[in-house]
Amino acid sequence: MKRGWLPCLLLLLLLVLAGCAGSGENDAAADLGYTRIGAQQAKEIMDQAPDAVVLDVREAEEYASGHIPGAVLLPVGTISEETAAQAIPTRDATVLVYCRSGNRSQTASAALAQLGYTQVYEFGGIQDWPYEVEQGAPY
């Protein structure tokens, strides 16, 4: 009877630690000034806020091979104050950023936040996008 509380305490500790383990990625994103969301949340925002800017930060060839309808192409390596201003109407616009797998979109999101964009949402890569995709060149 004396040892009955020890397994419960260990289980509780494991549950607490497991619950905290997944928040590191979101904490890192918040520290860099943007919010990490999933594809479903991104789709909901697109459906509810048609003025949201969907930003594809891959290269033109990748964009042409398949992109989210309405997405604006701004390759991560070209992001500057000028190019961002051309693609995004205001610094408080809702911006949804994606790439192929999620690496470049994180870099781009941090760069946009550093430039002063306040509503940046990074949702990973198109390879995990379960919704409609269209093909065609950006211009």
Of 81, 77, 75, which Cα lies nearest the Cα of 117?
81
The residue annotated as part of the active site, out of 71, 99, 108, 126, is: 99
Contact 115, 81 (CB under 8 A): yes
Q: Any catalytic annotation for residue 8? A: no
The alpha carbons of the chain give a radius of gyration, in whole angstroms, of 19
Q: Tell me which amino acid residue 8 is.
A: C
**DSSP output for 68-136:** -TTPEE--GGG--HHHHHHH-S-TTSEEEEEESSSHHHHHHHHHHHHTT--EEEEEEEGGG--S--B--
Active site residues per annotation: 99
